[in-house]
Amino acid sequence: MRRLSRVTTRQATRTGRLSRRWLAAALITGAVALLAPGVSYATASQSSQSSQSSPAAAGCKGVTPAVFPALGFITNPGRTQGGHLWWRRSAAGGSVCIGTVVEWVQYNTTATKTWRVIAYSAQYPHGQIVASRTFTLGRGVYFWSFGVHQAFPGLSAVCVTADDSFGMPCIDFG
């Protein structure tokens, strides 16, 4: 069962070690991205128009890690990432499977925000919300794991946000 988790000072120290592992994974993924055409990383804002999510594809699991850059309040305690996801390109190369998406959000005061995972594809060039959850949380740093497990034909980007004012870091698959 997925749980909303708050990072305490003690956990932040352990998370710092975990973040270095993710940094290493990001560097390896970045090196592969340079060698694999069509995979790059970007921080970009897209149109806010979106539609409802479609059902998850059976057996769609990501195997390659990718890291969202930290942007504004979308950040882990070390400000090294805004989250991460697992992805896999189809054998034919026409679609990308997105597995689990993890999002980090920092709250400076108690607030209610809707956290979203948005996919941009040929079918939904203005974005499609594929996962969301609304939280009212106090001061602290939190993360949530979204099980997307969905294949997207013509996927160009996946972004995470916690309401527009919090920023929208993206991973570009274009």
d(CA 91, CA 96): 10
d(CA 126, CA 48): 7
Give the least confident one: 11-15, 19-23, 41-45, 57-61: 41-45
pLDDT at position 119, please? 97
77: which residues sit within 8 A by CB, 6+ positions away? 7, 12, 15, 16, 19, 141
d(CA 160, CA 146): 11
pLDDT at position 20, please? 52
Q: Token pair for residue 92?
A: 């034919």
With cut-offs at 50, 70 and 90, classify the pLDDT of residue 25. very low
* pTM score above 0.75: no
Report the alpha-carbon angle 122-47-88, nearest 5. 40
pLDDT over 50 at 95, yes or no: yes
pLDDT at position 74, please? 95
Structural domain boundaries enclosing 139:
5-172
Residue among 60, 64, 67, 63 nearest 22 (CA): 67
The secondary structure of residue 9, as a DSSP letter, is: H
Q: What percent of the chain has pLDDT over 70?
A: 66
Annotate 95-126 with b (16+ C-beta within 10 A) or e (fewer): bbbbbbbbbbbbbeeebebebbbbbbbeebee
More confident residue, 45 or 21: 21
The tally of domains found in the chain comes to 1
With cut-offs at 50, 70 and 90, classify the pLDDT of residue 61. confident
**Which residue spans within 108-154 are E strands per DSSP?**
111-121, 128-137, 140-153
pLDDT over 80 at 128, yes or no: yes
Mean predicted confidence (pLDDT) in 30-39: 33
- In DSSP terms, 91 is beta-bridged to none
The secondary structure of residue 19, as a DSSP letter, is: H
With cut-offs at 50, 70 and 90, classify the pLDDT of residue 80. very high
pLDDT at position 138, please? 95
Q: What percent of the chain has pLDDT over 90?
A: 58
pLDDT over 90 at 56, yes or no: no
